[in-house]
Structure 1
């Protein structure tokens, strides 16, 4: 890859080709919890833009440019009152749509009608707040949110969280489309009890089996990987052929342009976006969706706050303290020497590549076929948009974008892995405790 190609797929500020593409998709901008408390307002940076997210007195969400259109003062220090956000400099007041309601020091009361602050559509689902920074239709409306499982499930069955990464968004995303790394980076030397696996990646048993996922990854470290294009991105099929003729089947997805959808357990999935703050840092935003019982949100939150601090969801370990690396631990107890939380493992893997990975120096192998396919897709969609054509759109309403299907399970000997995962996914959805839309497989 050339330096110019690397820039093309990593730099997302306004006016860049990638930035133009990403602005054609809904972007997670905050967790709903971030607007709890006495002052529901937060300064945010998204795709290199400085913004202010707030909830007005009526509970409506607003997202506006951070600089006041009067003389550029910082609206993140504004007052939430009188139906909007008021700038402390001269008292100019803006509603959630950017309309100026008052310019109190101006003698002409109609002066405010000439003022407009740039505002962006926002939507809230499952404890996550999404923003639209791209073009809108003639009525000022953005496209509907896509019909993903995590966005159609009842709030009781979805838990949302996020975490900061000190690196470019793309290398953070690419780790999720690499099935081979889990056998090494996330290797556990001992298998935990099933009742201790709740909410933890790679600690549960596989579907239709009492085989721990940790054992599968540890003992079968050379998987067979296939990649297929779908209406929403890419489907990655990973097969591990077990002793005795059974096959471990893992289906994961790249949700274009910047998310992946993977199984957490036999009844819970993770949809995780990687969203640029700027070119050198990002947040991962995850929605955990249960098809069975409601999510134990207090436990899920408690688990993740062992690693992240509030209010900014900063990791307790990172580049500043060598990701908690302990050579004695690596020698005696864990594969990485960085504890047992896979979020730390992934954080080291992506941050240690540098704040923007130099892809001119990498040597990709056959296990990287999903990464190659994704980069081809990303560059193709950027070029398509540059030609004035619409990029890949995620469908809204209960059609092709619903899902996408994801699972890890064990297909019995003599069973087609493809037939197995489709039947297992259909069974999971049919037995769900909420009204899951039908998924065409």
Structure 2
């Protein structure tokens, strides 16, 4: 049973909290590059309980700075993009993407005040359509050489959506293999031709059985959890027959992402980036091992469910997530449509803004959730003791991770899924890096 204090440690993200200190040791996916498109590339960002301002200057340099002007604290989100930086409308102070104050035009002629003024800036890097920022102290760690980071832009697509709850309960859905047989159950199998860009709507690798059928008819997976250099590998085995077993391999990418298969050709790497203690964004990179991603199609699919500029879900608690009792009786297990993001959103938001884990009763299928919580608590302890937490040293040498939905011979499923992953990687047109030996 979890204590209230442990639950606070696991869920708080602000400055000065154990959880916030841990998360500030990692690159945070604070925005989509798409959010800086348009005539005025200035975007206020709230992350880990702090307010920042993301902008791109006239030369195309992306900067992330504190949102309040260091002069008198006004909101720089209304600043003017001009003269090589962002100018505060209050007194005209100009700030570069690196945080330096470039001008204080209201000061007397010859004033050198601007040379002594700067606002805090934060390292940023662009990867696969996402702007990542390092919000901690000291030198930023390297990102691993994971597929989502090394695949060319032609083979990746990024998107995000708001969730009105704490980041951890949102993440935990992604490392819970059992829920998919219920929460995402469809009573009819869809057309394979209409499955592009949709999770659980196509066939599993090496089979013509739709994933909807596999999940619906085989709801009792055997779950294995293994520790890895990057976090956890979670394997769900569904025995189809004496000869055949369905193998689904997913991964926890510590501390706040998971890597899962979306189809036979595509994976999803999805972070849960805390806005504050009670809100988060899921933000994902879809990576293709085959043809280039049809970005326009995938974006259009998702914009049917999310509204810009804040990527807010159309179905939410205010409209009961679109719940339809007739649909629940005949089409879907939830009665909340066919978008699994809506299903997950309902599941985690209905737990409350911050789940009270002192009242939960974990089951055998929750072993990955329990293992991840232990990793997080150990990571916080490491930071408090001045030690380096997981993945902050040597991560650049990590590749993969391996993930698949596929059919395998029951007697040799371990070797079979690994060889299937190796074949897919070897045939990738962008030369996916070889995986480390298992």
Global fold match (TM > 0.5):
yes
Distance 2:175 2:301 in 1: 24
Q: Could you tell me which runs of 5 or more consecutive residues in structure 2 were left unpaired when the two chains were aligned.
A: none
CA displacement at 1:204 relative to structure 2:
1.2
Counterparts of 1:245 and 1:120 in 2: how far apart (Å)?
Answer: 54
TM-score by length of 1: 0.97
Superposition CA RMSD, Å: 1.1
Deviation at 1:395, TM superposition (A): 6.1
Distance 1:111 1:146 in 2: 41
The residue that corresponds to 2:102 in the other structure is 101
Aligned counterparts, 1:150-229, within 5 A: 150-229=148-227
Equivalents in 1 of 2:188, 2:391: separation in Å? 43
Q: Could you tell me how far 1:49 is from its partner in structure 2?
A: 0.6
Q: 1:41-63 deviations in whole A, cap 9, x for unaligned?
A: 00010000100000000100000
Partner of 2:423: 427
Over residues 261-320 of structure 1, what are the superposed CA-to-partner deviations in whole Å (9 max), with x where a residue is unaligned?
Answer: 000011100000001001010000000000110000000001101100011000001111
Counterpart of 1:135?
137
2:114 to 112, 115, 120: 112
Does residue 349 of structure 1 match 2:347?
Answer: yes
Structure 1 residue 111: Cα displacement: 1.1
Aligned-pair CA distance for 1:413:
4.3
- Report deviation, 1:136: 2.3
1:315 aligns with: 313
How far apart in 2 are the matches of 1:439 and 1:274? Answer: 25
SS for the counterpart of 1:329 is: helix
Q: Which whole-Å deviations, capped at 9, do the CAs of 1:11-50 have from their partners, x for residues lacking one? A: 0001101100000000001001100000000001000010
Contact residue 143 and residue 396 of structure 2 kept, 8 A:
no
Cα shift at 1:169: 0.3
Shift of 1:147: 1.5
Contact persistence 1:146–1:395 (CA under 8 A):
no
Change (3 A) 1:29 1:316: same
Query: Which residue of 2 is the match for residue 257 of structure 1?
Result: 255
Work out the CA distance in 1 between the residues paired with 2:331 and 2:425.
39
1:145 aligns with one of 121, 143, 146: 143
- What's the offset of the Cα at 1:398? 5.8
CA contact 2:160–2:284 (8 Å) conserved in 1: yes
Q: Displacement, 1:226?
A: 0.4
2 CA distance for matches of 1:223 and 1:241?
A: 8
Aligned length: 435
Q: State the 1:110 CA deviation.
A: 1.4
Q: What are the Cα deviations for residues 407-428 of structure 1, in whole angstroms up to 9, with x where unaligned? A: 01000243x2211111111111
Shift of 1:438: 1.0
Q: Bigger CA drift: 385-394 or 20-29?
A: 385-394
Q: Distance in 1 between matches of 2:93 and 2:359?
A: 52
What SS is found at the alignment partner of 2:355? coil
SS in 2 for 1:9: helix
Task: Give the drift of 1:388.
Answer: 0.8
Change (3 A) 1:149 1:420: same
Alignment match, 2:14:
13
**Structure 2 Cα separation of the partners of residues 11 and 184 of structure 1:** 30
What runs of 5+ residues in structure 1 fail to find an aligned partner?
A: none
Q: Secondary structure at the match of 2:145?
A: coil
Give the distance between the partners of 2:402 and 2:375, measured in 1 at CA. Answer: 20
Superimposed CA distance per residue, residues 349-392 of structure 1 (whole angstroms, 9 cap, x where no aligned partner): 00000000010110100000000000011101111111111100
User: Does residue 361 of the first structure (1) align with residue 359 of the second (2)?
Assistant: yes
Verify the 8 A CA contact 1:235 1:254 in the aligned structure 2. Answer: yes
Query: TM-score, normalization: structure 2?
Result: 0.98
Matched, 1:61 2:62: yes
Change in 2 beyond 3 A, CA 1:432/1:121: same
Give the drift of 1:331.
Answer: 2.0
